[in-house]
Structure 1
Amino acid sequence: MLLTTPDHQERSERRNMLLLLWDPLPPAEAVSGNQDLITDILLRLPVKSLLRFKCVSKQWLSLISDPQFSRHYRNLASAGIILCGTTGHIDHVSCGRRNSEPPFTYLGFIDDSAGTKILQSCNGLVLCCSFFELGKSRNYYICNPSRRQFLMLPPPSAKGCDESITIFGVHLYFDPCKSPHYQVVCVRNCAPSSAAANDHYQIEIYSSETRTWRLSGSPFSAPFDMVFDNGVLWNGTLHWISPTGASLCFDIVQEQFGEMPSLPSNEKWSKRRLRYFGESGGHLHLIEIYGSGTTQFQVFEMAKDYSSWIPKYQVDLAAIVNAYPEMARSYPDSHDSRFYLFSILFVQENEEDSLLLLHVPGKFISYNLIDKTFKELCDFGANSTKANTSIQIGCLHAYQFIETLSCV
């Protein structure tokens, strides 16, 4: 089941294209000689098919390898959502028009004895790291899972660091509309001798163009509870929010720090829970839930000029709780205090849809933010996390993913 379905015009275009492919009347030479037709067909295929079709002929190899073809392919691509649990299996919710087949379901092509997990996804490239092993440093990888390509990043340079490097967060930035090269931003510790009293952090940036790390700016300070591995990329800027509401931004292009407006609620911190912070369709979203016993909350969106958080959608999950009563739980030895088990995985907002992807015990739910309807997503395979009804809430991570022909 797709989060979005092709419209009538899209289905007609696909049908006409198939007729052109399979109609026995036009001679094969006429079809093979029509490069525009071949290009239109190839642009609608998944990456793994295109890689195989490079072997068909020199003409197809040249066409698929052309940077202009890659740009057109990117413009036609639609983003899906990949769901990652603790088992290493990766599920895929298709939001696109091209195909519903999962682009990948595991990262076994990365040769790491500890296994790997996804940290971020950015325009078709994925940042991964190895699982923690006692006595070993973590490895970090950039990969294109559609091409089954990966690159292990060299460790940061350790310049200005008197002791061993501690990495607090690593983030991928890739904007193929601006450059074919990507960058990786690392937040690490710095030498006490090279920093002011409260400056404990240093930014270091890796460039795929130079294949090297370099220091960015001077050491800096941050709120004591800032979690640097939960950054969100929006408009070329990394954004972090601490559990107590402090914020920090880093403009990757300008290499400058800033702050976001205060969070939207004046509720006491004992009642506030930041349940979602992410980007979709060029929008930065935030969801706070005030108390565990409520089914109502708002989806906030950051103003383009960073002036404020704007309430965008009102959500009430009461109907979902009624449909799935296993969401409702009670605290031990309490007759009145109830709470609800659900995890907000993703807010999808584009020209066609505004949806909330939820995980409730054993199920994935798509909630329409416009008309307040919901549906259970049932297209997961027998070996997927969907089949594991014992999966715990909060153990899943969702990332937007769009296929690309770009190399690492």
Structure 2
Amino acid sequence: MESTAGVSSELDPSTQIVESNDDLLTEILLRLPVVSLHVFKSVSKRWCTLITNPDFALRRSQNPRFDSASGLILQRRKVSEYDFLPLDTRIPVPLPTAFSFNSSKVEILQSCNGLLLCHLISLDKFIVYNPSMNRFKTIPESPYQELRYGYGGFRMAFDPSKSSHYKIVCAGVIENNDGSHLLIEIQVYSSKTCEWSVLCHRRNYHVFKGFTNGLYWNDAIHWLHTNYNTNCHSMLDIAEHSIKTRARKLLPDLGNGDHKLFESRGCLLVICSQNYPQHLNIYEMIKWDSGWSMKYIVYLSEIMTPFPNTWSKSSKWFCSRARCIVIGDNDEDSFLVMEMCGNIVRYSIGLRTLLKIYELDSVIDSPDSFQFIASLAAV
């Protein structure tokens, strides 16, 4: 890298002041998108040091402007094939360089605040990958008892606004001492200590049926599941080493369609599809002990009205699977990304406008998708 010292004399006085003051320069750099920061790391060793400082990444992640999804990673027909979909063409987004995982057979399991938890299928190993930086780290195997993962799974806990470190949570199935039934044991890997530990007491595996779809929010992993015909919301508190479950009375009406948890700008949300009439109920978690409140209702019949000829309401492709929700500073800035009639669309909740952003291959049956958040986080 070349130094800027030789050209500083050519700069005007005000620019020289900014260039020579680390604190002032840092304040300016903190307001730039990741794609610009990648370029500016090459300006000089000093600029690179400022941008790659862990404290810089921590401060930047505390800005709500940069903690929302700016794209979707969409799984195609094969597990290891992915497309990248920018959600707002007005904002520069760094196009990930390695989303075509065909050669390495990588399956994305979870997206968590800028980091991806992935499974190396051919090697049966797990990695944490930052697509913005194109860097990854292989997670070592646990030294504890070998577990079976059929009823459990791997989840990641990472909040860059609080720490630069992450944790990998493994809910593994083991047999009871007498072999009479199965239990779940929770093991946790910490990137800070680079070690595995057992988190809490073994639990009945029925509680973890939905754990593979768990979402990290507010120092805990949350998931929805059904236990003995009762809708339940469970959470694994990483800090308190505890598991809590709330039954139907504190849940929104999940209806007769799909339901899924989402997180956006510090809000935990659940989107429930209702078939009669077709609409989406969007609820927001108030507090764990006080339940949910209605945030939005999206009537699909209103959305389809402008498209009677192009997208048939009776088409077998008609569905309303939510892919992503982004909460803005106000309702006009908030939008929902969903699958509708074989297309991925962006619906502005406040303005009630619809934009088609991707056409699905007809052979794809509801592929997975993952939020992309540009991040400077180290792995």
TM-score by length of 1: 0.75
Question: Which secondary structure state, in structure 1, belongs to the residue aligned with residue 209 of structure 2?
Answer: coil
Number of equivalenced pairs: 356
1:40 deviates by 4.4
Report Cα offsets for 1:215-274 as digits up to 9, x if no partner: 12221114378232111222111112125523322101111010134133386xxxx223
2:246 aligned with 1:260 = yes
Alignment match of 2:133 (pick from 147, 161, 165): 147
Superposition map of 1:2-401 within 5 A: 29=16, 32-35=19-22, 38-47=25-34, 49-51=36-38, 53-76=40-63, 77-79=66-68, 80-86=70-76, 88-94=81-87, 99-104=91-96, 106-107=98-99, 113-131=103-121, 138-159=124-145, 161=146, 166=150, 168-193=152-177, 197-223=180-206, 226-243=209-226, 244=229, 245-262=231-248, 263-265=251-253, 272-291=256-275, 294-325=277-308, 326-329=311-314, 340-352=318-330, 353-371=333-351, 373-378=352-357, 386=358, 388-390=360-362, 392=364, 394-399=366-371, 401=372
Which letter maps to 1:176? Answer: P
CA contact (8 A) 1:90 1:106 kept: no
> Once the 2 structures are TM-superposed, how far is the Cα of residue 119 of structure 1 from its aligned partner?
1.8
Give the match's secondary structure for 1:329.
coil
1:24 is displaced (CA, Å) by 8.1
Which has more strand, going by share of residues? 2
Shift of 1:290: 3.7
Native 8 Å contact 1:347 1:355 kept in 2: yes
Task: Supply the AA of the counterpart residue of 1:231.
Answer: G
Q: Residues of 1 paired with 2:74 and 2:171: CA distance?
A: 24
Shift of 1:389: 4.9
Verify the 8 A CA contact 2:344 2:360 in the aligned structure 1.
Answer: no
Q: Distance in 2 between matches of 1:256 and 1:180?
A: 23
User: For residues 377 and 254 of structure 2, what CA distance do their matches in structure 1 show?
Assistant: 45
SS at match of 1:82: strand
Q: Mark the runs of 5 or more structure 1 residues left unpaired by the alignment.
A: 1-22, 332-338, 379-385
After superposition, the Cα gap between the structure-2 partners of 1:259 and 1:27, relative to the gap in structure 1 and judged at 3 Å, is: closer
Give how far 1:184 is off: 0.5
Q: Do the aligned partners of 1:47 and 1:403 also contact (CA within 8 Å) in 2? A: yes
Q: Which amino acid aligns with 1:343?
A: R
Deviations 1:146-178 (CA, angstroms, capped at 9, x unpaired): 11110111223342x5x7665721111112333
| Partner Cα distance (2:154, 2:350) in 1 | 35
SS at match of 1:56: coil
More off after superposition, 119-128 vs 302-311 = 302-311
Contact 1:365/1:374 (8 A) holds in 2:
no
Question: How many Å separate the matches in 1 of 2:46 and 2:104?
Answer: 42
Mapped partners of 1:81, 1:176: distance in 2 = 18
| 1:347 CA drift (Å) | 2.2
Deviation of the 1:28 alpha carbon: 6.8
1:314-353 deviations in whole A, cap 9, x for unaligned?
Answer: 221112222334352367xxxxxxx932321122224233
Change (3 A) 1:72 1:233: closer
- 1:53 offset after TM fit, Å? 3.7
The RMSD of aligned alpha carbons is: 3.4
Contact kept, 8 Å, 2:258 with 2:321, in 1: the verdict is no
Query: How far off is 1:370 after superposition?
Result: 3.5
Question: Does the Cα contact within 8 Å between 2:148 and 2:174 map onto a contact in 1?
Answer: no
- For the structure 1 residues 189 and 93, does the alpha-carbon distance in structure 2 shift closer, same or farther, using more than 3 Å as the test? same
Flag the 1:217–1:103 CA change in 2: closer, same or farther, 3 A.
Answer: same
**Structure 2 stretches of 5 or more lacking a match?**
1-9
Shift of 1:120: 1.7
TM-score by length of 2: 0.80
Mean Cα displacement is larger for which, 230-239 or 345-354?
A: 345-354
Cα distance 1:290–1:68, how it changes in 2: closer, same or farther (>3 A)?
closer
Letter in 1 for 2:82: H
- 3-state SS, counterpart of residue 98 of structure 2: coil
Secondary structure in 2 matching 1:259: strand
Contact kept, 8 Å, 2:96 with 2:132, in 1: the verdict is: yes
**Matched residues in 2 for 1:48 and 1:374: separation?**
28
> 1:14 aligns to what?
none
